[in-house]
Amino acid sequence: MTTVPQTTEDQQRSAVVTGASTGIGEATVRALAAEGWRVYAVARRAERLEALASETGAVAVQADIAEDDDVARLVAEVTSGGGIDTLVNVAGGARGTDWIADAKTEDWEWMLRANVIGTMKLTRAFLPMLRATGHGTVLNLTSVAALVSYEGGGGYNAAKFAERGMTRALRLEEAEHNVRVIEVLPGLVKTEEFTLKRLGGDAEAAEKVYAGVEEPLTAEDIADVVRYAVTVPHHINLDEIVVRPVAQAATHKLIRRGR
């Protein structure tokens, strides 16, 4: 596989950010671009990507990260553009809240493909390039669902537990190549689409998830954490960052007021 020459940290930083058409991925593109990074914004929805690119100067790349041909095309485009030193895997998501007794196979297969298989394929494809820089970074966005299971979350728990396991193994495997591996685990984040899509487009049900929570986290909050984690000096590895709103003391304890 084609790689890029070794770089130094004082050169322009560059990253691929997946899930860039909405939510945390979109906010991360904006945060890094504002810091002067060259950013490849990757997602499946071309129209939203093009709008983001025109606003931020990012390079829009329409791709499904679980599709081998799309991944190969993305790597080729990034290589021709000079390469990257950072990979930010945001793409993923949840479908449904069924208990396991009523689990829908297609929902589980989608979650494993989006959160685990896609992340693996993209990471595998870019590792030679990240190693070649001499100071590569991989940041995987998982979830507090990777830490604690809950009723109705079995499929999402399974996907995020798997993604977390993969991330921890990657950190052990890549340390000798000076590739740092970071995991950000958000709690309750109110974004445009995550819960709405999980609940099949039921806007009323989606809004109830956040009802009475005075200040749930925003996509921009998480993007700012991601930006900080990938811009600190490279010898610092923020291995695992759990981010929750103050109102969410734990997965089972969420303070709701004014309902």
Q: Which residues pair with 17 in a beta bridge?
A: 41, 88
Arch. (CATH architecture) of 14-253: 3-Layer(aba) Sandwich (3.40)
For 132-190, how does the pLDDT look when each residue is reduced to its tens digit (9 = 90+)?
999 999 999 999 999 999 999 999 999 999 999 999 999 999 999 999 999 999 999 98
> Which tokens sit at 258?
């004014």
Residue 28 CA, chain-centre distance (Å), reads 9
Report the alpha-carbon distance of residue 4 to residue 130 in Å, rounded. 9
pLDDT of residue 49: 95
Q: What is the pLDDT of residues 84-111, one digit of tens each?
A: 999 999 999 999 999 999 999 999 999 9
Question: Residue 145 has which token pair?
Answer: 């669902």
Catalytic residue among 40, 150, 156, 228: 156
The neighbour count for residue 158, using CB atoms within 10 Å, is 20
Q: What distance in Å separates the CA atoms of residue 170 and residue 101, rounded to the nearest whole number?
A: 33
- DSSP 8-class letter at 65: T
Q: What is the mean pLDDT of residues 36-46?
A: 96
Q: What share of the chain is helix, strand, coil (3-state, %, to 5)?
A: 45, 15, 35
Q: Is the pLDDT of residue 200 over 90?
A: no
Asked whether the predicted pLDDT for residue 7 surpasses 70, the reply is no
Half-sphere exposure of 151 (CA within 13 A, CB side): 1
Asked whether 75 and 132 are in contact (CB, 8 A), the reply is no
Whether 150 is catalytic is no
Domain ranges of the chain: 14-253
User: What is the C-alpha separation between 13 and 37, in angstroms, rounded?
Assistant: 5
Type of residue at 161: F
